[in-house]
C-alpha cells in the first residue's frame, strides 16, 4: 500500500475468535436450520468434502448426504478443512445418490442438481420458497452430477459464469448456491 493510501485508510482491528460470538456444536444442533440438504454425488477429494461440511455449518443447513465414493468422517484430510464442522452438521451415507434421492423425495424435498444441462435455470432466476425443503446435489469434480441423477431431479440450476473456464470448483459452486438460496429464503428467519 502506498504511503498516501495508508495515511488516509481507516485503521481496522481484526476480531478475535472469542469476539465472534460463535456457539459450540451442541448448541448448534438445537438451532432451527435452513430447509436444505446438501447431497454429495461421488465427490472424490477429501479436502472438498471437509470444505463442504464447513460451508454447510456456516449456512446452517439441515445436513449433508454423502453418496457413492464420497468418503465419510472421521478422516484426517476431511477434518483438516472441516475444522470441526463434522461434529455440528448431521450427515448420512448412501451407497448411491439415487438411493438418497428416493429418501429425500419420499420426505417431500425438491431435488435440485447443480449442473450445466439443456434447460437449466440460471441461479439468479430461481427463487426458492421458505416452505419448500430443498436437496441440492453437487457432483464429482471431473464428471459432474451423474447423468442418471440429472434425469431424476426436479430442476437443474446453473451458476452464470463470464470467464474462459466452464466451471467453478465444487466447494465454490456449493457455497455460491447455498448462500444464494439461504439469502433468498431469508437468513433472519433462521437466526
Report the alpha-carbon distance of residue 60 to residue 191 in Å, rounded.
9
Average pLDDT over residues 126-137: 94
**Residue 155 in contact with residue 105, Cβ under 8 Å?**
no
Report the alpha-carbon distance of residue 97 to residue 66 in Å, rounded.
8
Confidence of residue 11 (pLDDT cuts 50, 70, 90): confident
Task: Enter the pTM of the model.
Answer: 0.92
Average pLDDT over residues 7-27: 85
Residue 3, pLDDT above cutoff 70: no
Residue 170, pLDDT above cutoff 80: yes
Query: For the CA atoms of 171, 111, 33, 16, what is the dihedral angle to 10 degrees?
Result: 10
Q: What is the pLDDT of residues 97-130, one digit of tens each?
A: 999 999 999 999 999 999 999 999 999 999 998 8
- Range in 7-11, 45-49, 98-102 with the lowest mean pLDDT: 7-11
- Strand, helix or coil for residue 34: strand
Q: Who's near 10: CB < 8 A, 6+ residues apart?
A: none
- Strand, helix or coil for residue 92: strand
Report the alpha-carbon distance of residue 89 to residue 57 in Å, rounded.
6
Average pLDDT over residues 48-72: 98
Q: Please, what is the average pLDDT of the chain?
A: 94
**Residue 40 in contact with residue 52, Cβ under 8 Å?**
yes
**Residue 97 in contact with residue 146, Cβ under 8 Å?**
yes
Amino acid at each position: 500500500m502506498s504511503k498516501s493510501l495508508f495515511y488516509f485508510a481507516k485503521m481496522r482491528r481484526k476480531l478475535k475468535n472469542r469476539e465472534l460470538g460463535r456457539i459450540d456444536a451442541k448448541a448448534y444442533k438445537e438451532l432451527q436450520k435452513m430447509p436444505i440438504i446438501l447431497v454429495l454425488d461421488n465427490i472424490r477429494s477429501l479436502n472438498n468434502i471437509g470444505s463442504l461440511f464447513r460451508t454447510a455449518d456456516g449456512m446452517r443447513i439441515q445436513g449433508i448426504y454423502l453418496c457413492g465414493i464420497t468418503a465419510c468422517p472421521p478422516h484426517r484430510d476431511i477434518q483438516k478443512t472441516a475444522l470441526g464442522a463434522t461434529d455440528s452438521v448431521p450427515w448420512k451415507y448412501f451407497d448411491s445418490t439415487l438411493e438418497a434421492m428416493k429418501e429425500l423425495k419420499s420426505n417431500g424435498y425438491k431435488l435440485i442438481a447443480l449442473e450445466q444441462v439443456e434447460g437449466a435455470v440460471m441461479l439468479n432466476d430461481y427463487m426458492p420458497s421458505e416452505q419448500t425443503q430443498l436437496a441440492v446435489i453437487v457432483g464429482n469434480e471431473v464428471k459432474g452430477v451423474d447423468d442418471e441423477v440429472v434425469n431424476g431431479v426436479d430442476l437443474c440450476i446453473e451458476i452464470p459464469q463470464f470467464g474462459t473456464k466452464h466451471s467453478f470448483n465444487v466447494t465454490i459452486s456449493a457455497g455460491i448456491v447455498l448462500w444464494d438460496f439461504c439469502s433468498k429464503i431469508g437468513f433472519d428467519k433462521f437466526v
